[in-house]
Amino acid sequence: MQEETTKGVVVPGLGDRFPDITVNTTHGKIHLPDDYNGKWFVLFSHPGDFTPVCTTEFIAFSKKAEKFKALNAELVGLSVDQVQSHLKWAEWINDNAGVKVPFPIIADELGILAKKLGMLHESKGTNTVRAVFIVDPKGLLRIMLYYPQEVGRNVDEVLRALYALQVSDKNKVAAPENFPNNEYLGKNMVIIPPAASEAQVEERKAAVAKGEYKMKDWWLCYREL
């Protein structure tokens, strides 16, 4: 559902299509979301190049880029810095941290995409906040996360959320807290959609009796993935 900001900019919501836009990146021009049709992609913004927290995040994202690829997902970075700044910063990371940045970084110099996605906050000036957008193979926004400038993100959590989304889509189930390692239900347990009628309540109970599901109550049935 789209939401209108105080400045009148309509920001897409969960389930909406990612804005169609052509952007300049360190890998050349990219058209979003069509260039990633059939793949997931994770777009993450950072306040600025050559900043300490952002540097630690880029190192972490770069080191785990292959894990995202294993989930059929591509990484895309973004800030309002110029392409030349991105290139120099990526070079610095490679030279000083021994890590190559393998993904494109968008140079959103005019803040066009940042404005479309609500990444520019008045209190933070012209810098983009730390945002994460997970987009599915159909170009739909599935997860939107925003962090303040002073708090770095957990890349493992982005990976976990991506994996949980894929499991949910494929199996028509819900993923519990910290899936696949939920303390209450157990490892690799997924939640069956709650019953919506008396008939479904009885179906859930019958499935539990057959050993197909486990149950805390008829409204909380689950099974191993």
Residue 207 falls within a domain, yes or no? yes
Does the pLDDT of residue 161 top 50, yes or no? yes
Do 86 and 145 lie in one domain? The reply is: yes
- Please report, for the domain that includes residue 71, its CATH number: 3.40.30.10
For residue range 115-143, what is the model confidence (pLDDT) as tens digits?
A: 999 998 765 566 888 999 999 999 999 99
Residue 97 falls within a domain, yes or no? yes
Distance CA 180, CA 213 (A): 17
The answer to whether 20 touches 59, Cβ cutoff 8 Å, is no
Do 201 and 144 lie in one domain? The reply is: no
- Containing structural domain, residue 220: 181-224
Catalytic, out of 32, 42, 43, 54: 54
H-run or E-run covering 134: strand 130-135
- Please report, for the domain that includes residue 205, its CATH number: 3.30.1020.10
Mean pLDDT for 12-27 is: 97
Residue 67 falls within a domain, yes or no? yes
Do 190 and 110 lie in one domain? The reply is: no
Distance CA 210, CA 204 (A): 10
Residue 145 confidence class, pLDDT cut points 50, 70, 90: very high
Instruction: Give residue 124's pLDDT.
Output: 56
Do 37 and 122 lie in one domain? The reply is: yes
Residue 166 falls within a domain, yes or no? no
Q: Has 221 been annotated as catalytic?
A: no
Do 128 and 194 lie in one domain? The reply is: no
Do 123 and 15 lie in one domain? The reply is: yes
Residue 47's contacts (CB-CB under 8 Å, 6 or more residues apart) are 54, 79, 124, 127, 128, 129, 130, 149
Do 68 and 110 lie in one domain? The reply is: yes
Does the pLDDT of residue 3 top 60, yes or no? no
The answer to whether 26 touches 104, Cβ cutoff 8 Å, is yes
Instruction: Give residue 10's pLDDT.
Output: 79
Q: Which long-range contacts (CB under 8 A, 24 or more apart) does 124-129 make?
A: 124/47, 124/149, 126/80, 127/47, 127/48, 127/79, 127/80, 128/45, 128/46, 128/47, 128/78, 128/79, 128/80, 129/45, 129/47
Tokens at 151, concatenated? 């708090």
Residue 37 falls within a domain, yes or no? yes
Distance CA 157, CA 104 (A): 21
pLDDT cut 70: percent of the chain above it:
93
Look up residue 16 and give its amino acid. D
Distance CA 89, CA 225 (A): 42
Domain count, the chain: 2
Residue-averaged pLDDT of the chain: 94
Residue 173 falls within a domain, yes or no? no
Residue 170 falls within a domain, yes or no? no
